[in-house]
Structure formats: C-alpha cells, structure tokens
Amino acid sequence: MQYLLLIYSNEKEIAALNPAERTSMTEEYTEFTKGIIQAGQFKAGDRLKPTSAATTVRVRNGQRVTTDGPFAETREQLGGYYLVDAKNLDEAIAIAARIPGARIGSIEVRPIWPPQT
C-alpha cells in the first residue's frame, strides 16, 4: 500500500532554530531518507518552501481566484512530505515515527487510493 506522510510543524518554531540545530536536523533527514530508500520504502519526498511562498488557486463559476498564502491559516503548516510503500498502516506509522519532524510537529499518515483498474 502507498501512503503519503505529510510533515506539519510550526514554521515560526523551525525558523527560530539556531544554525547548529538546523544542520543537525538536515543531517538527520538525510540519514532517514537514505534508510527508507535502502529498505525499498521510498517513492518520493521533498521539502516545501514555507507558506510565505504559497499561493492558493480556486476556480468558482468559471472565474479563477488567486490569493496569497496557504489555503487556510493553521497552527502547524505543511513543510514537506514523503510518499512511501508500506506493507500496512503499522509499517507506515513506524516510518512516520522516525521522521525527524515527528519530534517537533505532527505527521499525517494518509493512505492513497490504489489505481482504479
């Protein structure tokens, strides 16, 4: 089964990390990503630019409405994701728990619909 692991954290808290903490976090992410690639679980993953760089697009009644910022103001913001292949939810949860961001923020584990045949 495929799962999307959505990494949420409070952007202000992340921004407040000092350079040493930031470097340490990056190294941990590199290690983690290597690990799940080796385990054959990694399908994709990226770090997102902060919500200050986000734009929201909606089309209503044929009209395109474009606004500055994320789709909603939330306490934690989406900062990155991993797309993984896992045997079942327990395996996906185990992967999510090892994401460095899980210690600071929240990881949403969302199963993906299998392709319709």
- Our finding on whether 88 is near another protein (CB under 8 A) is yes
* Cβ(22)–Cβ(104) below 8 Å: no
**# residues near another protein by CB under 8 A:** 11
Sheet containing 42-47, strands listed edge to edge, beginning at the edge strand earlier in sequence: 42-47, 77-85, 2-9, 106-111
**Residue (63 or 117) nearer to another protein, CB:** 117
- Our finding on whether 1 is near another protein (CB under 8 A) is yes
Q: How far is CA 22 from CA 16, 37, 88, in A?
A: 9, 23, 32
How far apart are CB 4 and another protein at their closest, in Å?
Answer: 12
**Residue (66 or 113) nearer to another protein, CB:** 113
Q: What is the DSSP letter of 81?
A: E
> Where along the sequence are the contacts to another protein (CB under 8 A)?
1, 86-90, 92-93, 109, 111, 117
